[in-house]
Amino acid sequence: MSLTKVTFTNPEGQTLSGRLELPADQHPHNYALFAHCFTCTKNLGAVRNISRSLTNRGFGVLRFDFTGLGESEGDFEDTNFSGNVNDLIAAADFLSKNYNAPSLLIGHSLGGAASIFAATKIYSIKAIATIGAPSNPKHVTHLLKSNLEEIKTNGQATINLSGRDFTIKKQFLDDLESKSLPKIAKNLNKALLVLHSPQDTTVTIKNAEEIYHAARHPKSFISLDGADHLLMEKRDSLYVGNVIAGWASRYVDIAEEPKLKSNHQVVASLGNVEGYTTQMKVGNHYLIADEPKQVGGNDFGPSPYELVSAGLSACTAMTIKMYVARKGWDLQHVEVHTSYSKSHILDCNNCDDPNAKIDTFNREIKIEGNLDEKQITRILQIADKCPVHKTLHNDTQVITSLL
């Protein structure tokens, strides 16, 4: 995973802080926006876990702090629900201008309600997933409890939520009262996934039912049985991320991996837009080769020489395992560490001459087991007899023709 700190401005000119997570081994096939819960931040454990699950499935994910929260500018007391919606639209504009327009929108709790409203104004969005979302934004007023009268009388009140003090103004309540989520959901015309826990005591399961019934197809519901509202258990948030990634793949555009075919054991395919990221079919297996970033690659896969080194390491380990199995020796584990470089030829007469360097594979072998010194010495000798090792020492030829 690649994590980058990003900033962008909302319609009020305030700078919002976010984290853009990208897959470790590919360019994102789609981008997702994450809207966190009421008074939470982008760094809530559940938000990070869900984002990580999505990046593992090829999505790029932007999670950010709403105005006045976390590292973002602005005063929370001056914000309202509509402001959260505008922040999401600003985040989508940032992705569109600097990366690719988001196709997936994910919202947790009140962020889920904001996501449904924002999706009607972010035209690139094809799928929305809500987690523990209220069916009406004004639902959060029950969290304010005894402070409601003070807010209505004095125009504001300081309340404590999750151990932190927040000032809530009457304009926040007025804005919530004017929003009708079922009406918006009914005319959404985008795929919707509703995830909710039957044991959620903060936002009851009745809210999920109301959202689901109001929305038109395609719509889906997943019960998060046993989970709490904030998904504090890591396994719950990881599950949510994997479910959303799998569900969304039906509604967003994901380019098919190239179906490489060859009469040879290996085929490598490289286009004119991927840099050095090379699709490969190795036997019956698919993988990626690349170059490090310092030489212009994306580092999405091993370099060609790393692949050669990998072949030597694997062949060495397998050869040792075959030999000791025939001998019946007690070998519990073997590790083969290999790296490639160009080094001076041993005992070179003129080490300044470029021709005095030779391709060198440095190989270290770690052996675990009940073995005596004689057995270990023999194992090291056998290592030099692995087929790949022999190939590297033999005279070889590469016959090239046009296909």
Question: How confident is the model over 116-126, as pLDDT tens digits?
Answer: 999 999 999 99
Judging by DSSP bridges, how do beta strands 59-64 and 30-35 pair with one another? Answer: parallel
pLDDT value of residue 8? 96
pLDDT at 151 over 90: no
Indicate the helix (H) or strand (E) that contains 286.
Answer: strand 285-289
Confidence of residue 233 (pLDDT cuts 50, 70, 90): very high
Which residue is listed with tokens 């962008």? 8
pLDDT value of residue 108? 95
Q: How far apart are CA 183 and CA 118, in angstroms?
A: 14
User: Stretch 392-396: mean pLDDT, rounded?
Assistant: 88
Please give the single-letter amino acid code of residue 199: Q
Residue 317: what are its φ and ψ, rounded to 5°? -60, -40
| 392 neighbors 371 (Cβ within 8 angstroms) | no
User: Stretch 5-34: mean pLDDT, rounded?
Assistant: 93
pLDDT at 106 over 90: yes
Indicate the helix (H) or strand (E) that contains 383.
Answer: helix 373-383
Residue 337: what are its φ and ψ, rounded to 5°? -105, 125
Confidence of residue 273 (pLDDT cuts 50, 70, 90): low
pLDDT at 17 over 60: yes
pLDDT at 338 over 90: yes
pLDDT at 183 over 70: yes
| Average pLDDT across the chain, whole number | 87
pLDDT at 129 over 90: yes
pLDDT at 103 over 70: yes
- CATH T-level topology, domain 302-393: GMP Synthetase; Chain A, domain 3 (3.30.300)
Confidence of residue 72 (pLDDT cuts 50, 70, 90): very high
pLDDT value of residue 309? 93
Residue 397 CB neighbour total at 10 angstroms: 4
pLDDT value of residue 308? 93
Closest CA to 267 of 291, 253, 247, 287: 287
Confidence of residue 77 (pLDDT cuts 50, 70, 90): confident
Confidence of residue 262 (pLDDT cuts 50, 70, 90): confident
The DSSP string of 230-271 is T--SHHHHHHHHHHHHHHHTTTS--PPPP----SSSEEEE--
User: Stretch 314-334: mean pLDDT, rounded?
Assistant: 94
Read off the pLDDT of residues 42-65 as tens digits, 9 standing for 90 and up: 999 999 999 999 999 999 999 999
- Work out the burial of residue 26: count CB atoms within 10 Å of its CB; fewer than 13 is exposed, 13-18 middle, 19 or more buried: middle
Confidence of residue 24 (pLDDT cuts 50, 70, 90): confident
pLDDT at 160 over 60: no
pLDDT value of residue 158? 67
pLDDT at 333 over 90: yes
Confidence of residue 259 (pLDDT cuts 50, 70, 90): confident
CATH number of 2-248: 3.40.50.1820
pLDDT value of residue 228? 94
Boundaries of every domain in the chain: 2-248, 302-393
